[in-house]
Amino acid sequence: MLDFPKKLLKKSVGFFGLEIHRQRQVIAQGSRASMHGCLRQALQNGFRPETIIDVGAAGGTPALYEAFPEARHILIEPLEEYIPHLDSLINRLDKAEYIIAFPNLLRYSNNSE
């Protein structure tokens, strides 16, 4: 029923070389535009994972560690060069371990379980 007025308006404006488009909602800078914002939104919605699996964890993912400090963090990295950094990371987290995916699936953990 509203199609006719919309078409008429678009054609009228088009006569002058103009177009009408629906305005897109702009995501606020602090909302879900960043990983911190997305994780904050997840927390507000009640998301509380027991385990986080971080694949390609070479440099770490601080936003995950800050948002879910009580979760178990499994860091997976294929490059052995990052072992010193991964050792440092798991020593700072309560429940964390890392796996070097190649060559021998070496597994390191700071859990005493």
- Domain range summary for the chain, segments of one domain joined by +: 50-113
Element (H, E) at 52: strand 51-55
Q: What is the pLDDT along the chain (113 residues), one digit of tens a residue?
A: 567 778 887 888 788 888 877 766 555 555 667 888 899 889 999 999 999 999 998 888 999 999 999 999 999 998 889 999 999 999 999 899 999 887 555 555 565 44
HSE-up of residue 23 (Cα within 13 Å, Cβ side): 3
State how far the Cα of 49 lies from the Cα of 39, in Å rounded to an integer. 11
- State pTM to two decimals: 0.63
Q: What are the beta bridge partners of residue 108?
A: 98
